[in-house]
């Protein structure tokens, strides 16, 4: 993925490295990594073969999306669930999603990743838990798309095993037997999971939620993840309905449930994590269990506001996620950072939640949530994943602080994006992707999926 030439991203208009280093002169990239941080007014210590004039750009680490459902790009803004909260929203959509085909998923994944990439995102985690008949190789399809676009991804083998007939939420047509789930999980890890610095594709295990999987599958998945050394992911404490379900079904609050199935550990990152009390936050922090804050989705479904600062103070890593494109309804990470900034200011006040802190959630915090220490910061030795935004548009006219302007003035689209030293976006366009053709095929697939569903 990387280039061997030494490249100087020179004299940026603004830069957020995620560290205290003076990088006003830019950064030097070689062999897919950050090779040098150049102080303001200085030049690189060693010769460079290429230079990019960044005097019109704000440079940040590549944004890292820790929770998504790529397939949901096919069901954005669907009228019957536009104003529904989580449980009725899910019940309204499960029947539609049961009709997914491999081609649908390929198009949906490509659209989600392309949208993320254009928003400055270089690494994305997806939670795919739908395997209706004919979609057994869903994760294999996603791996191919990730490699084609040249991004990084943590693709989680999700699952649902507790259907309506047994007291769960999803219809029976969308659930699988535990033995099938575990066998496929092991196959995918063996086939695709890359380890160490620079990994492009990683596999995690992700039973969907307490209301769609059995406790036995949760325990067996935790054991398999520990045995094969991969990460664990699930939805937890997203809504009060879920809290009620756990109390009624298991006789436990959500964190007690998590501990009872062997998931309260630093191997786990949780989607949403809104409805925790003080004692539960302390327990999550002590265990090092991470939380993916999904600000836009939480507002869209009226789920609540995550207690991000208390989680961080307790020791729980906090990252950001756009969540599914049917509950956001977009896949734009730089906009998600803005939403997180504003939503969290409602809880904690403006002084406590700065633009830099919000950017850190989407970069270093998200990297920690995914168990990675090679991305998320612009620092010597880290992977050369970065995004560059111009402030030339009308919305930025009159702005003064370049980094703050990204969020406060509402940046939407990156001008350049690099992954492992290779440019994946140039002049606001994805290298090698015909976006107009993709939109036409994706829109046709969306219409086909919804045909007959009102």
Helix (H/G/I), strand (E/B), else coil: 63: strand
392-444 confidence digits (pLDDT tens): 999 999 999 999 999 999 999 999 999 999 999 999 999 999 999 999 999 99
d(CA 351, CA 338): 15
Contact residues for 198 (Cβ-Cβ < 8 A; gap 6+):
1, 32, 374, 383, 420
Q: How far is CA 384 from CA 15, 305, 381, in A?
A: 14, 33, 9
CA dihedral 385, 390, 395, 396 (to 10 degrees): 110
Q: Which residues, listed in sequence order, are joined to residue 155 by a DSSP beta bridge?
A: 126, 203
Query: What confidence score (pLDDT) does residue 168 get?
Result: 79
DSSP class per residue in 224-239: HHHHHT--EEEEES--
Helix (H/G/I), strand (E/B), else coil: 447: helix
Which domains are assigned to the chain?
7-61+382-430 (2.30.40.10), 63-369 (3.20.20.140)
| 1 confidence band (pLDDT: 50, 70, 90) | very low
211 or 255: which leads in pLDDT: 255
171-180 confidence digits (pLDDT tens): 888 899 999 9
**The pairing of beta strand 429-430 with beta strand 33-38:** unpaired
119-156 confidence digits (pLDDT tens): 999 999 999 999 998 999 999 999 999 999 999 999 99
| 41 confidence band (pLDDT: 50, 70, 90) | very high
378-400 confidence digits (pLDDT tens): 999 999 999 999 999 999 999 99
pTM score: 0.97
d(CA 378, CA 50): 19
- Tell me how many helices (H) and strands (E) the chain has: 15, 18
57-77 confidence digits (pLDDT tens): 999 999 999 999 999 999 999
d(CA 180, CA 270): 24
Please, are residues 283 and 264 in contact by the beta-carbon 8 Å criterion? yes
Q: Does 3 score more than 70 pLDDT?
A: no
d(CA 236, CA 378): 31
């Amino acid at each position: 993925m990387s280039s061997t030439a030494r490249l100087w991203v020179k004299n940026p208009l603004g830069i957020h490295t995620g560290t205290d280093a003076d990088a006003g002169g830019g950064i030097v990239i070689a062999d897919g990594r950050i090779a040098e941080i150049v102080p303001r007014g200085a030049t690189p210590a060693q010769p460079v073969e290429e230079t990019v004039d960044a005097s019109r750009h704000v440079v940040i680490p590549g944004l890292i999306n820790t929770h998504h459902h790529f397939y949901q790009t096919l069901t954005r803004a669907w009228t019957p669930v536009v104003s529904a909260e989580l449980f009725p929203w899910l019940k309204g959509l499960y029947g539609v999603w049961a009709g997914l085909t491999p081609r649908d998923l390929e198009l949906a994944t490509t659209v989600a990743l392309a949208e993320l990439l254009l928003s400055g995102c270089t690494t994305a985690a997806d939670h795919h838990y739908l395997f209706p008949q004919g979609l057994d190789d869903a994760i294999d399809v996603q791996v191919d798309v990730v490699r084609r676009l040249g991004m990084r991804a943590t693709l989680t083998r999700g699952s649902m095993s507790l259907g309506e007939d047994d007291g769960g939420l999803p219809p029976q047509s969308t659930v699988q037997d535990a033995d099938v789930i575990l066998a496929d999980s092991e196959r995918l890890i063996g086939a695709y999971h890359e380890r160490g610095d620079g990994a492009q594709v990683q596999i995690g295990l992700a039973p969907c939620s307490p209301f769609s999987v059995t406790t036995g599958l949760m325990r067996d998945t935790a054991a398999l993840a520990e045995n094969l050394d991969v990460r664990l992911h699930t939805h937890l404490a997203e809504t009060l309905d879920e809290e009620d379900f756990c109390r009624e079904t298991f006789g436990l609050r959500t964190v007690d449930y998590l501990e009872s199935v062997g998931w309260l550990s630093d191997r786990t990152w949780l989607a949403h994590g809104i409805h925790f009390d003080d004692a539960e936050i302390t327990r999550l922090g002590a265990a090092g269990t991470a939380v993916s804050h999904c600000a836009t989705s939480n507002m869209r479904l009226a789920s609540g506001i995550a207690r991000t600062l208390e989680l961080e103070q307790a020791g729980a890593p906090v990252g950001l996620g756009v969540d599914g494109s049917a509950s956001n309804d977009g896949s734009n990470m730089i906009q998600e950072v803005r939403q997180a900034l504003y939503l969290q200011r409602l809880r904690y006040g403006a002084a406590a939640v700065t633009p830099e802190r919000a950017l850190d959630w989407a970069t270093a915090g998200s990297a920690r949530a995914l168990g990675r220490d090679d991305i998320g910061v612009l620092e010597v030795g880290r992977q050369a994943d970065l995004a560059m935004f111009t402030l030339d548009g009308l919305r930025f006219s009159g702005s003064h602080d370049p980094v703050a302007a990204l969020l406060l003035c509402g940046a939407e689209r990156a001008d350049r994006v690099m992954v492992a030293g290779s440019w994946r976006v140039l002049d606001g366009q994805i290298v090698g992707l015909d976006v107009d053709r993709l939109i036409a095929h994706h829109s046709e697939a969306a219409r086909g999926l919804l045909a007959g569903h009102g």
